[in-house]
Structure 1
Amino acid sequence: MTTTVQISNNPLPTLPPPEKYRGAVVEDLQLPPAFCFPRTELIAHAIELAYDRDFSHIPVLGKRRNLLGYVEVATLKKKWEAGEVNPTDKISACMTKFNRSPRTNPYTVITPDTPLADLESFLKSNVFALITDYERKFVLGVATSQDLEAFVSRRGS
């Protein structure tokens, strides 16, 4: 019987999620507090605030602070530069709306206690994750795959 051994040029083995994150949860990412726009925010002010805070995706809230959708800052900037939107337009004209139908588009609740392995799985099919409180009333933060990468590099995994 012959055993084949494969040798990799990769100096560090890829660890499975439980070992890579060592039991860490979303709260361990130490994300900055969420920054949200009201749907009535002007595009010019929104772009200025987004670049001041260095955020790529910003949630948009309705009158009762309910989540309506999000703005992708790079797309918003491109539309502005192309003349597709005016600085005095409201952000609601450029936001991506959330599909609120649980039948056609179920959502995943991500809280500060969500394991990072679960967050990583979620981010494989999504650009970002909104971190909410347990009752889903407030957006606490926004997480991206870059946040996970930074966490792993800080930990030395």
Structure 2
Amino acid sequence: MATDTLATPKQSSVPLMSSDKYRGAVVEDLQLPPAFALPSDEAISRAVELAYERDFSQIPVLDKRRKPLGYVDVPSLKTKWEAGQADPDDKVFKYTIKFRREPSQPYVVITPWTPLTELEQFLQDKLFALVTDWDRKFVLAVVTKQDLENFVTRRGF
């Protein structure tokens, strides 16, 4: 009976096999580097330069209040620039892939305390996730499937 009171609805909806893989770990356990994000009015030339310095392929784009608007796909942006379809002085907002916020696709908040099992489910059909504070005021990190795979390998799970 005591074990029933410890289960939460979120934990019980996750398949047992996945929870065994991560042994209760949360996003914070991934030890991700701090997020790198761009303001929406940054020039694409600077965005590409900064992305390649950091070896990032997607960069979050923030509005004036620093809330996530979407992201820039750096390889696609670089291709457009090299083909003459984008001016180096264009603003990243013009090339931002905006996050869809619709009732059919609700925004999923990923925080440092999100269980890795939930993160794995989220990443099943997405390239990456933004790790934010609960109120989505700050982008703390960017996480990918590769980060999960590296974690499992490092921990020997």
Asked whether the two chains share a fold, i.e. TM above 0.5, the reply is yes
Match of 2:98 in 1: 97
- Cα deviation for residue 104 of structure 1 reads 3.3
| Structure 2 residue ranges without an equivalent (≥5) | 1-15
Match of 1:33 in 2: 34
Report the 3-state secondary structure (helix = DSSP H, G, I; strand = E; otherwise coil) of the residue aligned with 2:75.
Answer: helix
| Structure 1 residue ranges without an equivalent (≥5) | 1-14
| Conserved 8 A contact 2:67-2:136 | no
Equivalent residues, number: 142
Q: How does 1:1-157 map to 2 (within 5 A)?
A: 16-101=17-102, 103-157=103-157
Aligned-CA RMSD value: 1.3
TM-score normalised by the chain length of structure 2: 0.86
The one-letter code of the counterpart of 1:47 is V
Alignment partners' CA distance in 2, 1:53 and 1:61? 18
Alignment partners' CA distance in 2, 1:99 and 1:156? 36
Report the 3-state secondary structure (helix = DSSP H, G, I; strand = E; otherwise coil) of the residue aligned with 2:146.
Answer: helix
Alignment partners' CA distance in 1, 2:38 and 2:56? 12
The one-letter code of the counterpart of 1:62 is D
Regions of 4+ moved over 4 Å: none
Report the 3-state secondary structure (helix = DSSP H, G, I; strand = E; otherwise coil) of the residue aligned with 1:147.
Answer: helix
TM-score normalised by the chain length of structure 1: 0.86
Instruction: Give percent identity, aligned residues only.
Output: 62
The one-letter code of the counterpart of 1:149 is E
